[in-house]
Structure 1
Amino acid sequence: MLGTITDFLADWYLVTKSLHVVSVISWMAGIFYLPRLFVYHVEQVQAGSTTDAIFQTMERRLLRGIMNPAMVATWVFGLALVFTPGVVDWSFAWPWVKAAAVLGMTWFHHWLGLRRKEFIAGTNTRSGRTYRMMNEVPTVLMVVIVFSVILRW
């Protein structure tokens, strides 16, 4: 049974890798855009207004329609790559560094989801500056991930 699964993963390696890259790109697009929406939302929109409702709709659709499925797909295809024979050598530091950064990216994703709930409840207390600063978190994590995978430290 295990041999059949690893054979399948090996045979489908390039497809899995391609789907992983597409998923990551989709996830990152949303993870960069949602905090920017929050900046505009907090700085330009009056709570309870029609524009507030529009922003909430855009934020919900981005998170639920793009980011959540892309995050799940990134994890599924990433784990498939991890279990593909010969792809990851855990004796090196790079897969551990990448894994930590992916966990950080996942934390950030959920942090954004909690902030969206605050906008819905009308309890957001964070400034546009806070969201601008937090928007640098995925950039740093992305650099760590890319350099880890490409340079294989």
Structure 2
Amino acid sequence: MTPLDWDTALQLSYEWIKAGHVIFVIFWIAGLFMLPRYYVYHQEAAVGSAEEKKWIDRERKLRNIIISPAMILVWVFGLTLAYITNAWDQTWLQVKIAIVFLLSGYHGWMVGYGKKLAKGERPVSGKALRIMNEVPGIATAIIVILVIVRPF
């Protein structure tokens, strides 16, 4: 396939790529809403208990089966959309990408925190985890405004 054919194929697939992007954003954000709540419940379980082992397994599955693959696909579909539309110089997109980058860092921190919990460490309070649960919602609201309203 020549570069021109590749660009044409991407243009013809634009709506499907956009649908994939939105679908995997929903999966990723839903998982990021669930994960801190799982951690709150996990922290309330006794270290080494059967209940704690169940939370460790649930968290691992949520991270490995849903959240991490969804995040990767969000980036792939999103960057493909930016390429197709050649929107790189638009401020709203630059801000959106910066927020998604920060949200990806939050994702990484949450994955690392789950590994600490699995080792029996509890460095963050349940209250702090409940507050952290607001991060994906705030980021999502800002991103939706940037994409729909395009304030700049």
- Range into which the TM-score falls when normalised by the shorter chain: over 0.9
2:124 corresponds to which letter in structure 1?
R
Q: Aligned residue for 1:7?
A: 8
Structure 1 residues 112-134: Cα deviation after superposition (integer angstroms, max 9, x where no partner): 10001101111222111110111
TM (normalized to structure 2)?
A: 0.94
Counterpart CA distance in 1 for 2:86 and 2:105 is 23
Q: Aligned residue for 2:110?
A: 112
TM (normalized to structure 1)?
A: 0.94
Structure 1 residues 80-104: Cα deviation after superposition (integer angstroms, max 9, x where no partner): 11111xx253343200110011001
Following superposition, the deviation at residue 38 of structure 1 comes to 0.7
Q: Aligned residue for 1:81?
A: 81
Counterpart CA distance in 2 for 1:125 and 1:13 is 44
Aligned 8 A contact 1:20 1:77 in 2: yes
Q: Which runs of 5+ in 2 are unaligned?
A: none
Q: Aligned residue for 1:131?
A: 129
- Aligned residue pairs: how many? 150
Structure 1 residues 45-95: Cα deviation after superposition (integer angstroms, max 9, x where no partner): 0010000000000000000010011111111111111111xx253343200
Counterpart CA distance in 1 for 2:91 and 2:25 is 21
Q: Aligned residue for 1:34?
A: 35
Identical amino acids, percent of aligned pairs = 37
Counterpart CA distance in 1 for 2:47 and 2:137 is 29
Counterpart CA distance in 2 for 1:146 and 1:88 is 19
Following superposition, the deviation at residue 40 of structure 1 comes to 1.3
1:143 corresponds to which letter in structure 2?
A
Please tell me the root mean square deviation across aligned C-alpha atoms, in Å: 1.1
1:138 corresponds to which letter in structure 2?
P
